[in-house]
Copies of this chain bind each other. A is one copy, B any other.
Amino acid sequence: MKMNELQNAPWVMAKRAQKMNPSVIREILKVTEKPGIISFAGGLPSPKTFPISEFSAACEKVLRESGDAALQYAASEGFVTLREMVAAALPWPVDPAQVLITTGSQQGLDLVAKVLIDEGSRVLVETPTYLGALQAFTPMEPEVVSVASDAEGVDLDDLTAKAAGARFLYVLPNFQNPTGRTMTEERRAALSSRAAELGLPIVEDNPYGDLWFDTPPPLPLSARNPEGCVYLGSFSKVLAPGLRLGFIVAPKSLYPKLLQAKQAADLHSPGFNQRMVAEVIKDGFLERHVPTIRALYKSQCDAMLAAMQQHMPEGVHWNTPAGGMFVWVRLPEGLNAIELLPKAVDKGVAFVPGAAFYADGADPRTLRLSFVTASVDQIKTGIAALAAAIREHAARG
C-alpha cells in the first residue's frame, strides 16, 4: 500500500451535493465587505434594534432560576412556555401542540423539504422568491416551478395551470424577500379558495409580518385554512437573528413527521436560548419593542425612497414597500444588474442583483435594496452613488 492510498480515501458524494452551491448572496456579501462600502445588499436587521440589556437580564435570571434545565437536553418540540406564547400571539386559534420551535425559520424550510419533497416532486414558488427557501429545498431534489406573480401576489390562472401534482406552493406574503411586496387581502382570499379547490397545500413563510409601517398586513393564509397550510415564523427580525430561533405551526396530520425530522436534524433547538426569549417576551415586551423597530425601518425606507426620487435617472422603477426590509428596483431596458454591481462597488455601494432570486427565467434588470442596515445618512450617500453608477453603466453600455 502506498502512502497516497492511505491519505486519499475516495469520497463519493451524494447526487444532491452536485446541486448544492454557494449562496450567490453570501458570495456577493464577501466581495462587498470592503471597509467603507455602504451595503444595501444584506438583509441584516439593524443592531440598534437588539434589546441587549433585556437579554442580559434574562440570561442572568434563566441561569440563576433554571440553569440546570436550560443547559440540559430538552424536548424536540421546544420549550412549552415559549410554544404557548407563540400560539397565543398568532391571529388565529392555534393549539400550542401544533407549534414546533426551530433553529431559525431556515430550519423550518429544511424540515418541510424533508417531509414533503421527493426527488422530482413539483414545488411551486413565487416569481421571484426567497433564495434561502430554494437552498433548503434543493437537497431534496424537487422540480421547482415559478408561478407568475404581480405586485399583488401570485397569478391565480398561472397557478391553476401549474398546480397539478405539486406538493405545495411556497409563498412569503408579507413584505416579501426579495421584492418587499405584500399580497393584498383580495388576492389572499382568492388564493386561499383556489388552493383549497385545487387541493394544493401552502407553505407560508412570515419572517417580516410584524415589521409593518402604517397598517398591519392582511390576515395570513394559514388563518384562512389552517389544515391546508404550514406556517413559518421567526424571532430573528423582532428580537435578534443570532439566537437562531423560529417556529413552525403545522396541521396535526403533519406535525409528527416534522417532529421526527427535527429530532434527527439537531435533537432540539438550544433550550437556553428558548428560555431567554420566553423570559424577555413574557410581559408584553414585543408590544413595546416592535413599534420602535417599525418606526426606525420606516424612517430608513422613507429616506431611501426620497433619495431615489431625487437621484435616479429616468427609466429606473421601484416599488413602495408597506413594511419589511427591502425595496425592489428595475433598471431601464438594456441594463443588467449583475454587470452594474462591480461598478456600484467601485463607487462604494453594494446591492444584490435580482437574478439570484428566480427559480427560472430571471429578469436581469432587477435588483434588491435593503434599507435596514445602513443609517439615513449612509442611505442618502449610497443612493446617490448607486444612481451615478447606473448613469455611467447606461452611458457606457
| Residues of A bordering B, CB below 8 Å | 1, 5-17, 20-23, 26, 42-45, 47, 50, 52, 55-56, 59-60, 63-64, 67-74, 76, 102-104, 106-107, 110, 114-119, 121, 132, 135-136, 138-140, 167, 192-193, 195-197, 199-202, 225-229, 236, 240-244, 251, 253-254, 256-257, 260-261, 263-273
Given contacts A8-B228, A193-B6, contact A106 B257 (CB under 8 A): no
B74 pairs with A242, CB closer than 8 A: yes
How far is B226's CA from A69's CA once the two chains are assembled, in angstroms? 37
Point out the residues of chain B lying under 8 angstroms from A45, CB to CB.
72
Point out the residues of chain B lying under 8 angstroms from A132, CB to CB.
264, 267
Task: Give, as a whole number of angstroms, the nearest-CB distance from A275 to chain B.
Answer: 9
| Contact among B20, B73, B107, B227 for A266, CB-based, below 8 A | B107
Task: Give, as a whole number of angstroms, the nearest-CB distance from A207 to chain B.
Answer: 12
**Residue contacts A-B, CB under 8 angstroms, 15 given:** A7-B228, A9-B195, A9-B200, A9-B201, A11-B116, A16-B114, A20-B115, A50-B68, A71-B241, A106-B266, A107-B265, A132-B267, A135-B260, A136-B265, A244-B269
B201 pairs with A10, CB closer than 8 A: yes
Task: Give, as a whole number of angstroms, the nearest-CB distance from A190 to chain B.
Answer: 13
How far is B166's CA from A10's CA once the two chains are assembled, in angstroms? 11
Nearest CB in chain B to that of A259: its residue: B22
Number of copies: 2
How far is B268's CA from A242's CA once the two chains are assembled, in angstroms? 9
How far is B163's CA from A10's CA once the two chains are assembled, in angstroms? 13
| Contact among B15, B201, B244 for A268, CB-based, below 8 A | B244
| Contact among B52, B60, B254 for A11, CB-based, below 8 A | B254
B116 pairs with A12, CB closer than 8 A: yes
Instruction: List 16 additional contacts besides A6-B193, A103-B269, A242-B270; criterion CB under 8 Å.
Output: A1-B193, A7-B225, A12-B116, A14-B121, A14-B140, A20-B264, A55-B67, A69-B242, A73-B236, A73-B242, A110-B264, A114-B139, A135-B260, A136-B265, A138-B264, A244-B266
B59 pairs with A56, CB closer than 8 A: yes
Given contacts A21-B260, A260-B20, A267-B132, contact A9 B225 (CB under 8 A): yes
| Contact among B22, B202, B270 for A260, CB-based, below 8 A | B22
B241 pairs with A72, CB closer than 8 A: yes
Given contacts A10-B199, A44-B73, A199-B10, contact A272 B106 (CB under 8 A): no
B47 pairs with A106, CB closer than 8 A: no
Point out the residues of chain B lying under 8 angstroms from A243, CB to CB.
71, 270, 272
